[in-house]
Chain A
Amino acid sequence: MTVRPHLSAFATLCALAAAGCPAPSPGELTGTVESHTLSSQSVGDDYVLTVRVPPGYDAAGAHPVVFQLDPYLGVLQEFALTASYASQLEADGVIEPTLVVGVGYPEVPGPIEGRFRDYSLPDANGDTLGLGSGGAPAFYDFMHDELTPWLEDHYAVAGPSDRALFGHSLGGLFTMYAALQHDQDDPFVERFVVASPSFWYDSGSIFQIEQAYADEAEDLGLDLFLADGLYEGPEMTVYTDAMAERLAARGYASLSLTVQRYEVDHVRSVEPCFREGLEHHFGGAR
């Protein structure tokens, strides 16, 4: 007996996090929020960018940046979550004033179709379950070649060593993919929060991508915060452990790898992953 015909519906349900789901309450968001539309030649579509500009923003300065995937996904509201945590941590003096950039979608394709298109890996094993169209390479090009130069032109941003990419679930899969596309000579970001990643996608093809990177490169110079929830099931935790073990076994001299597991389920993992990810990358752990 199989439930695969229901997977798309379930994934959509997860994404929407049903109407009755209590939303995380991260607290007050300080600063201002600006909205922009950016057309992408790589993807052939528009993106709606939501930029949280912190109090104390200095146009002549160099502010840390968080690129937030899935900024508006049902009640998860990951942009508001991360921006609010940043507000708290700034007020507590833990992190410097930080820009948070939500990379979202216009009404069409919308947050669900958009993420399935952009965060899914190209079909390598014929087991994508019809959940995505494999647009990760084009979306990576957009992030690297179009969004980052645009952001540098419009805001006072720090260099790649003070920029982070945050993604959860399918967004976590893309974040891991982006980490494995890392070009030491031309990075757009050097910090990553891979939260509850969907490494199961396409029978774990992200591990083939990891192997391909290892075959080509001797080092991986980035800071990776990899985390998930204890109650997410074997399809999450076993794959997270496997990725952590593989990366550690590579012996990359410049890789900083932190692995965390929280006693939460898949939806609730966004809160500790993003809050502690912010502290890890931009707080006392720097």
Chain B
Amino acid sequence: MKRVAFAVSLALSLGLPTTALAAEPPDDTAASRAQGPMLELSLAPLYGFGGARHGFGGQAGLGMFSPLWQGEGSTGSLELGLLLGYDHESYGRSDRFLGEGQVDGGTHRIEALLLAGPGLRLAAMPRVRSSLQLYGGWVQAFMHAQLDNELQSISGDYEVSVGVFSTGLALTHRLELAQRVGLDLQVRAPFPMVPAAITSYVFASLGVSVGL
């Protein structure tokens, strides 16, 4: 019951529909969870880190998982998804290499990604579903800043918008709090990783997903 209450509060805070939370307590067998295909809507706050800067934002996802196989100890699925993300990386909050107050502004990052990969649920932990997905999509970064170094009498503006194709891996663990409600922990990172590149941000999110 505590889990459902937590899920309701988290769903409300993220603006997700809560009707699905009124379902019965979950059936704790892997087989019962191997039915599908099933659509899921997810929402999560987002934390990103890269290039000695970090940012905060949110992401929304629409996913589909379809059972592929079922064994005694585990079940497997195919997981597909569409993810939209936004984060803001403030230079003032983490002004890489610069003294305090030298730079204002930041980067607004928008991502649209497609994900695909296998999912796995172990019979020993039937409430947990894990997936490892490849992703690919577009990343658009709007960077604007003003640097002001009084000591050297240097000041200048920086305005750049750049869009790049990005690929990477997303690892997701989903804990089912109720029959159709999950708590999602996701980490995704670009691959190949190119230090200091536009796409070199690692993201972590903790949010909820609801079966539609």
Contacts and interface: CB of A to CB of B under 8 A. Distances in A.
A3 B51 CA distance: 10
21 contacts: A3-B52, A3-B96, A6-B52, A7-B96, A7-B97, A17-B195, A21-B192, A21-B195, A200-B98, A201-B97, A203-B99, A207-B152, A233-B51, A233-B91, A233-B96, A234-B145, A234-B158, A235-B97, A235-B98, A238-B147, A266-B195
Contacts of A267: 194-197
Interface of B: 51-54, 91, 93-99, 102-103, 105, 143, 145-147, 149, 151-152, 154-158, 160, 162, 191-198
B163 to A, nearest CB: 11
B149 A3 contact: no
Contacts of A231: 143, 160, 162, 197-198
Contacts of B105: 234
Contacts, number: 107
Contacts of B96: 3, 7, 10, 233, 235
B141 to A, nearest CB: 8
Most chain A CB within 10 A, of B98, B105, B158, B196, is at B196
Given A203-B151, A238-B158, A241-B156, A20 B196 contact: no
A238 B156 contact: yes
B158 A265 contact: no
A1 interface: yes
A237 interface: yes
Contacts of A233: 51, 91, 96, 143, 145, 158
B196 A239 contact: no
A29 interface: no
Contact of B151 (A2, A22, A204): A204
Contacts of A3: 52-54, 94, 96
A33 interface: no
